[in-house]
């Protein structure tokens, strides 16, 4: 059985040697000799590309995909899954927050349960701020409340996927991709694996709050049409409110009249807000459609190391 390990990297020079060593150690000490480690260099500007070239030269099982610029974590992970050739694959962050030492346990669970996906569920998250943990928890709960497919809470990318899931994933051609969402969406038998998430080994997070907010909005708008339906519900609610206001206007005419301008201003602001919100929601979907119809590639590969065939059409293998 061949194992692929997919590791997206963006400016990870501080951790890469340690990451590579620990993955190699755990595979060697468990007799998992048939393996490949795919590092995706997502347009790093530090010495990440040099380090990866050095690894690939030393060891044929280390494969590298260099992107032409930074295309984001999701694109990097997607490229890794598309290029992997294992019977099972692991998705692992480069920063060692998800310990590679858990790989054998996850394989054991996968074999015991005869499932297709083993997804890591974080029992605890060391070294992350209270605000990040809180916003992440709230987001997943909110998302599940509006999403058509329920997604497991406290789950990141760290997971094992088998060949069935890998080959289904390779059929997806959407540009705006939320990988862990799609890997849940495909279905099959999926089992949770509880673990303690460590703090980053070194370096800093590549996600600031602005990027996280953008990611959250992308997830919502690419996975559920609920916000569009919300526009209809808001419209209905405003009709009811306006009817109530008519009633109120009649009553107040005889009891204690509000100055005319106040009620007018309130109504204008209220309906203006509702309309802008609705247009904004529609705009988000149009932006997604805009991106999809252009059919631009999700990422551009600059160079492949130790990988012979480019899997994406029109992507040259510049060696
Ligand atoms: N990453 C990437 N491209 C990006 C941002 C991040 O490939 O544009 C990689 C990064 O190198 C790491 C993983 O995605 O391996 C997760 O990123 P990070 O640890 O910064 O996120 P956090 O764990 O803080 O959510
Ligand atoms: Mg991290």
CA 296 to chain centroid, in Å, comes to: 20
Is the model's pTM score more than 0.85? no
> pLDDT digit string (tens) for 77-104?
999 999 999 999 999 999 888 899 999 9
Segment among 152-156, 169-173, 232-236, 295-299 with least mean pLDDT: 232-236
Q: Would you say residue 17 has pLDDT above 60?
A: yes
Is residue 301 in contact with ligand 1, taking CB distance under 6 Å?
no
Which atom of ligand 1 sits closest to the CA of residue 70? 8
Most confidently modeled range among 68-72, 147-151, 310-314 = 68-72
Distance from C-alpha of 235 to C-alpha of 25, rounded to nearest angstrom: 59
Residue 319: pLDDT band (50, 70, 90) is very low
Quote the ligand 2 centre to 105 CA distance (angstroms): 21
- Within 10 Å of residue 15's Cβ, how many Cβ atoms? 20
Q: Please tell me if the CB atom of residue 9 comes closer than 6 angstroms to any atom of ligand 1.
A: yes
Q: In what order do the strands lie in the sheet with 62-67?
A: 190-197, 117-125, 155-162, 88-91, 3-9, 35-41, 62-67, 301-305
CA of 174 to the centre of ligand 2 (A): 25
State if residue 70 touches ligand 1 by the CB under 6 angstroms criterion. yes
Give the Cα separation of 142 and 16 in Å (integer).
Answer: 35
């Amino acid at each position: 059985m061949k194992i692929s390990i997919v590791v997206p990297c963006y400016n990870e020079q501080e951790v890469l040697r340690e990451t590579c060593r620990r993955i190699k150690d755990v595979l060697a000490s468990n007799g998992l000799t048939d393996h490949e480690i795919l590092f995706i260099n997502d347009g790093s500007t530090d010495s990440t590309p040099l380090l990866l070239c050095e690894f690939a030269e030393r060891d044929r099982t280390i494969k590298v995909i260099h992107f032409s610029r930074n295309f984001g974590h999701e694109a990097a992970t997607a490229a890794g899954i598309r290029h992997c050739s294992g019977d099972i694959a692991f998705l692992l962050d480069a920063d060692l927050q998800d310990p590679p030492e858990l790989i054998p346990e996850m394989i054991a669970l996968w074999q015991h349960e005869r499932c297709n996906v083993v997804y890591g569920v974080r029992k605890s998250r060391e070294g992350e701020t209270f605000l990040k943990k809180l916003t992440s928890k709230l987001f997943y709960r909110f998302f599940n409340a509006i999403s058509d497919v329920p997604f497991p809470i406290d789950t990141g990318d760290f997971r094992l996927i088998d060949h069935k899931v890998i080959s289904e994933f390779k059929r997806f051609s959407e540009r705006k991709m939320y990988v862990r969402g799609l890997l849940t969406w495909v279905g099959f038998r999926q089992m949770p694996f509880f673990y303690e998430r460590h703090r980053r080994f070194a370096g800093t997070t590549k996600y600031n709050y602005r990027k996280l907010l953008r990611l959250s909005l992308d997830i919502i708008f690419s996975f559920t049409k609920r916000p569009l339906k919300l526009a209809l519900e808001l419209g209905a609610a405003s009709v009811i409110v306006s009817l109530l206001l008519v009633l109120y206007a009649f009553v107040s005419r005889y009891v204690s009249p509000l100055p005319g301008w106040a009620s007018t201003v309130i109504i204008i602001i209220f309906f203006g807000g509702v309309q802008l919100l609705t247009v904004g929601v529609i705009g988000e979907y149009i932006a997604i459609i805009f991106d999809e119809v252009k059919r631009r590639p999700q990422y551009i590969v600059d160079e492949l190391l130790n990988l012979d065939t480019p899997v994406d059409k029109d992507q040259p293998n510049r060696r």
